């Protein structure tokens, strides 16, 4: 082996270089090999981190830094970890040991629902899963139509025409472009080989976004003139509204910690198929998500705590729309996030079509080519129509966090677990009681969040009418 100076390296240095190269290749292989512990943690982390990062600063704005942290840890990480553990227990119970070495396989939420409550429950679960997936697609479209005109105005420094602007007409136009020009042509495939690249790219953008929020707060004096004073103002903020702020923040937190739907898939793939190993996967994923959301939430709110229009900026529930043109790091975040949306949307349409196959066709049947085209076009059209009615990503996250997400992520795992273990004497009374309390708490908070959402939107409509008058 020749070094940079043109001289041959000694034998022992060549051996060291080969060993380092081999160890690095082994490390990369462990990250990409399905079933390994790092790969399982990576897959679950990609699902957990995402658009929720944009809205987390609102939680700390509405509740203060201290209480916001408590909500994130208890209302998000704690409840999510517990419901994830319940899903693992359900997989252990339902899984059929027909694979080599005593491994089990679970068909997913629908199969667990079938074992717990029967065929009708499995069908209802399929519809819930479909609604949840469609909700995610709609949120992607809403976020794109919100970011695209905003990014173009920042890059050009000029006000765009109405058809391209941030108004209703412009957002509808960008929704149409995103759905039918960009997404539809790449959504007809039934398998997508770019899954690993998309997941890696999405995770990189999420990490970059968190780092950009932190670094902008600490080092960009044009945005945050005094970090110490900003922290002091954030700590002594009087915007804490108590119980109502807590309930309003829960949908955002629940949206941000949704990864339970992928538990059966990871359970099927993981090499060491034990509760202990799945516990590690969820533990590291939850810790990573908590760190990312804490950094984004705290520094995102602190950055603008001294700004006079901080209320307006935080109420948007989209931190990327808050930065001024001078913050160059936000441009990369904006462009990267739109790239993630374009890549992730077809990956979400694919499981939608799989779910529709289980609902519409006999077991084992697949859509024909013509049926696939019709279903794909129908899904994209339905999502486009829904996206028109939702003006911003904050509303989308609130709606999902108060409807389909809590049902799929928190309520169904508890119901499955309670039914499947009703004759199991090894299950403690405390475990069953906590699952029952979670159903009641999540149900009531979701109803309240949905009710508050419609009340606030009605008040905003009245104010707009008064302003026009």
CB atoms within 10 A of CB 168: 11
**pLDDT-derived band of residue 2, with 50, 70 and 90 as boundaries?**
very low
Q: Report helix, strand or coil for 221.
A: coil
pLDDT at 237: 73
The C-alpha atoms of residue 370 and residue 378 are separated, in whole angstroms, by: 12
Q: What is the dihedral of CA 41, 46, 49, 50, to 10 degrees?
A: 180
* Average pLDDT rounded to a whole number, residues 288-292: 93
* Surface-to-core class of residue 186, CB atoms within 10 Å of its CB (0-12 exposed, 13-18 middle, 19+ buried): middle
36: three-class secondary structure by DSSP: coil
Nearest to 410 by CA among 374, 379, 380, 446: 446
Per-residue tokens: 174: 């960008």
Could you report the per-residue pLDDT of 52-100, keeping only the tens digit for each? 888 899 999 988 888 899 999 988 899 999 999 999 999 888 876 555 5
**DSSP state, 8?**
B
pTM of the model: 0.83
Q: Three-state secondary structure along 63-128?
A: HCHHHHHHHHHHHHHHHHHHHHHHHHHHHHHHCECCCHHHCCECCCHHHHHHHHHCHHHHHHHHHH
- In tens, the pLDDT along 113-142 reads 999 999 899 999 999 999 998 998 999 999
Average pLDDT over residues 321-339: 81
Determine the Cα–Cα distance for residues 111 and 121; give it in Å rounded to an integer: 10
Share of the chain above pLDDT 90, in %: 32
Eight-state DSSP code of residue 259: -
**Which residues are CB-neighbours of 364 under 8 A, at least 6 positions away?**
none
SS3 of residue 356 by DSSP? helix
442 Cβ contact list (under 8 Å, min separation 6)? 79, 254, 406, 410, 411
Dihedral (Cα; 393, 396, 398, 402), 10-degree rounding: -160
Would you call 240 exposed, middle or buried from its count of C-beta atoms within 10 A (0-12, 13-18, 19+)? middle
Highest average pLDDT, of 5-14, 194-203, 409-418, comes from 409-418
Q: Is the pLDDT of residue 439 over 50?
A: yes
Domains of the chain, with CATH numbers? 37-454 (1.20.1740.10)
* pLDDT tops 60 at residue 25: no
* C-alpha 416: how far from chain center: 23
Q: Per mean pLDDT, which range of 63-67, 240-244, 331-335, 370-374 is the poorest?
A: 240-244
- The residue among 45 and 95 whose pLDDT is bigger is 45
Six-digit token string for 319: 């931190």
pLDDT of residue 297: 93
Q: State the Rg of the chain over Cα.
A: 24
CA distance 399 to 397: 6
Q: How many CA atoms lie within 13 A of 302 on its CB side?
A: 27
4 vs 327, higher pLDDT: 327
Min mean pLDDT across 210-224, 273-287, 445-459 is at 445-459
DSSP structure class, residue 409: I
For residue 50, give every residue at least 6 positions away whose Cβ sits within 8 Å of its Cβ, in sequence order, or none: 202, 206, 340
As a whole number of angstroms, the distance between CA 393 and CA 141 comes to: 9
Mean pLDDT of the chain: 83
Cα–Cα distance measured from residue 36 to residue 270, given in angstroms and rounded to the nearest whole number: 6
Residue 159, number of CB atoms within 10 A of its CB: 10
The answer on pLDDT for 433 being more than 50 is yes
Q: How confident is the model at residue 462 (pLDDT cuts 50, 70, 90)?
A: low
Determine what percent of the chain is predicted with pLDDT higher than 70. 86
Residue 456 has pLDDT above 80, yes or no: no
Token look-up 């957990």 returns 48
pLDDT, position 12: 47
Q: Which of 317-321, 372-376, 411-415 has the lowest mean pLDDT?
A: 317-321
Tens digit of each residue's pLDDT (9 = 90 or more) over 393-420 = 888 888 888 888 899 999 999 999 999 9
- Among 299-313, 321-335, 429-443, the minimum mean pLDDT is found in 321-335
Long-range contacts of 136-140 (CB under 8 A, 24+ apart): 136/348, 136/400, 137/345, 137/348, 137/349, 137/352, 137/379, 137/383, 138/383, 138/386, 138/387, 138/390, 138/396, 139/51, 139/393, 139/396, 139/397, 139/400, 140/51, 140/341, 140/344, 140/345, 140/348
pLDDT confidence of residue 19: 47
């Amino acid at each position: 082996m020749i070094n940079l100076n043109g001289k041959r390296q000694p034998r022992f240095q060549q051996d060291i270089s080969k060993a380092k190269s081999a160890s690095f290749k082994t490390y990369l292989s462990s990250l990409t090999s399905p079933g390994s512990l790092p790969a399982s943690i990576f897959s679950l982390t990609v699902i957990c981190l995402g658009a929720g990062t944009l809205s987390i600063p609102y939680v700390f704005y509405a509740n203060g830094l201290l209480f916001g942290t408590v909500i994130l840890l208890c209302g998000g990480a704690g409840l999510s970890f517990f419901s994830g553990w319940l899903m693992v227990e359900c997989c252990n119970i339902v899984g059929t040991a027909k694979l080599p070495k005593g491994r089990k396989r679970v068909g997913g939420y629908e199969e667990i629902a079938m074992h717990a409550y029967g065929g009708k429950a499995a069908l209802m679960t399929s519809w819930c899963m479909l609604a949840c997936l469609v909700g995610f697609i709609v949120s992607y479209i809403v976020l794109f139509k919100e970011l695209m005109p905003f990014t173009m105005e920042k890059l050009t420094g000029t006000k765009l025409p109405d058809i391209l602007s941030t108004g209703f007409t412009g957002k509808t136009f960008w929704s149409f472009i995103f759905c039918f020009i960009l997404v539809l042509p790449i959504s007809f495939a039934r398998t997508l080989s770019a899954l690993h690249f998309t997941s890696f790219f999405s995770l990189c953008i999420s990490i970059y976004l968190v780092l950009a929020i932190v670094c902008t707060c600490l080092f960009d004096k044009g945005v945050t003139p005094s970090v110490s004073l900003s922290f002091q103002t954030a700590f002594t903020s009087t915007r804490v509204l108590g119980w109502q702020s807590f309930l309003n923040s829960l949908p955002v937190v629940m949206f941000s910690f949704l990864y339970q739907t992928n538990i059966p898939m990871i359970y099927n793939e993981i090499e060491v198929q034990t509760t202990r190993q799945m516990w590690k996967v969820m533990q590291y994923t939850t810790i990573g998500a908590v760190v990312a959301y804490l950094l984004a939430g705290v520094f995102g709110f602190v950055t603008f705590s001294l700004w006079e229009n901080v209320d307006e900026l935080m109420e948007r529930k989209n931190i990327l729309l808050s930065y001024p043109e001078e913050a160059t790091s936000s441009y990369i975040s904006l462009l990267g996030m739109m790239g993630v949306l374009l890549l992730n949307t077809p990956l979400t349409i694919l499981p939608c079509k799989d779910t529709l196959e289980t609902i519409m066709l006999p077991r084992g049947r697949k859509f024909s080519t013509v049926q696939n085209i019709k279903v794909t076009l129908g899904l994209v059209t339905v999502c486009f129509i829904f996206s028109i009615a939702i003006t911003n990503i904050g509303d989308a996250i609130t709606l999902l966090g108060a409807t389909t997400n809590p049902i799929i992520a928190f309520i169904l795992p508890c119901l499955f677990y309670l039914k499947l273990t009703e004759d199991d004497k090894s299950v403690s009374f405390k475990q069953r009681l906590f699952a029952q309390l979670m159903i009641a708490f999540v149900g009531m908070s979701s109803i309240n969040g949905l009710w508050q959402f419609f009340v606030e939107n009605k008040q905003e409509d009245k104010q707009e009418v008064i302003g026009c008058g």
